[in-house]
Structure 1
């Protein structure tokens, strides 16, 4: 799970429980998501990378691209 790419489907940020869609086991699944870096906000549609996974359905993510 760690290192997988996903897309934000519900804003991830401080004080929010966000959601990301990650491709796993030949399909796509939704996971509850928190920012890996405190204070970071990731808007819907942002490509992210999973940096930590806490079973059964929680991930910590960071932006996959720096946009530059």
Structure 2
């Protein structure tokens, strides 16, 4: 799946303490859903927020941080 770190995605299921969220990420010419956790403990990400992938654990888990810019 190439290098996922640094890609941007959109939160489709809220991410926060004790929650496993969902992020849609563009891969292989389409968009796929990945399970998502916050890279920083206690940080929350709301549905619709743009995030950047900071760690990828195959096959479908990512750790995210807010995307700025």
TM-score (norm 2): 0.93
Paired residue for 2:7? 4
Residue 36 (structure 2) pairs with residue 33 (structure 1): yes
For residues 39 and 65 of structure 2, the distance between their equivalents in structure 1, rounded to whole angstroms, comes to 6
For residues 9 and 68 of structure 2, the distance between their equivalents in structure 1, rounded to whole angstroms, comes to 12
Query: How many residues are paired up?
Result: 66
Summarize the alignment of residues 1-68 of structure 1 with structure 2, pairs less than 5 Å apart: 1-65=4-68
Which structure 2 residue ranges, 5 or more long, are not aligned?
Answer: none
TM-score (norm 1): 0.94
Which structure 1 residue ranges, 5 or more long, are not aligned?
Answer: none
Aligned CA RMSD, in angstroms, stands at 1.0
